[in-house]
Amino acid sequence: MHIRSPRLAGVAGQIGTIAITLLGLLLLTFFIGRLMPADPVRAMVGEDATRETYEQVFRSLGLDKPIWQQFFYYLGDVLTGNFGTSIRTGQPVIQDILHVMPATIELATFAILIGAGLGIPMGVFAAVNKDRWPDHLVRVVSLFGHSMPIFWTGMIALIVFYAKLDLVGGSGRMDQFYIGLVDERTGFLLIDSLLAGDMDVFWSAVNHLILPASLLGYSSSAYITRMTRSFMLDQLGQEYVTTARVKGLSSQQTIWRHAFANIRVQLVTIVALAYGSLLEGAVLIETVFAWPGFGQYLTSNLITGDMNAVMTCVLIVGVIFIGLNLLSDILYRFFDPRTR
């Protein structure tokens, strides 16, 4: 008799779900590229190209084929790692993205550390002091961070903290004087400068990272704070919390060892989604701070109508969220043994 392991069945089901999701993402990306008003052929050949040149490039791109056939060509290219060549840079798109992505990962990672480091304690503090002045203060601060346009706060922060007070670095990842002094090994400037032993470049990079990372972190902390407060209020109203207090446990033990322990799994998802949003949503802050990352790369290619680059960027954003959801599932099993 054949007995199928529940664990193997679960893994197979998860792999199948990921495969279907990726296929749907490829379909969505493909049709977004076809529905965009930009003309990829015109972007390649220029406005002054002859009709014959236009039609030759049109056929070479396979755009004369039926739409279903074009999709299978696109699917085959993606599966073989061929994402096309960027019209704007003349380099393979995937090579361009690998070059700019570390800058965005560096920025988003520091931002989520700030966002979670502020948002989680503030959310717990607000829930414990529900409907009192600390709760109202936290909610106002969160509302302000969630409501203010990030490009506006970025420009104001540059004027105040850089131009007026000279407390932080300005645009870019480091001072102009240090550009090119450190070899690009990993693409992460902080790591590369440490590997090279150049502390001047390292502190210049930190100085330029502080302001944009803080603004992004503050923006994401607003969402994390509100969700943490909501989760904690739900737990603090449970009977086990009342029982713990009756048994004589201190307020700190009740809050952190019992109530907070039961929302860790939910917070994993919230922080993961916030991190994914920072990776794909740092377009405005990268533009304001001239940060040479993924967001600025996507914006530049949207303006020039470089559809190979745009479609690949959209696909990568989707893969990032799928990967973060998968990571969340793994962390669930670590934090909550009942899900194993």
- The number of residues making up the chain comes to 340
pLDDT at 227: 92
Below-70 pLDDT ranges, the chain: 1-11, 13-14, 36-39, 43-47, 281, 335-340
Q: Say what the alpha-carbon torsion angle 83, 300, 207, 282 is, to the nearest 10 degrees.
A: -80
Are 172 and 249 a contacting pair, CB within 8 Å?
no
- pTM above 0.75? yes
pLDDT tens string 127-171: 999 889 988 999 888 888 777 888 888 899 999 999 888 888 888
* Backbone phi, psi, residue 151, to 5°: -70, -35
pLDDT at 1: 45
- Taking residue 196's Cβ as centre, other Cβ atoms within 10 Å add up to 14
Give the CATH fold of the 94-339 domain. MetI-like fold (1.10.3720)
Token pair of 310 as six digits: 């745009």
Domain locations along the chain: 6-79, 94-339
Are 306 and 298 a contacting pair, CB within 8 Å?
no
CA distance 296 to 284: 8
CA distance 64 to 190: 48
pLDDT at 281: 64
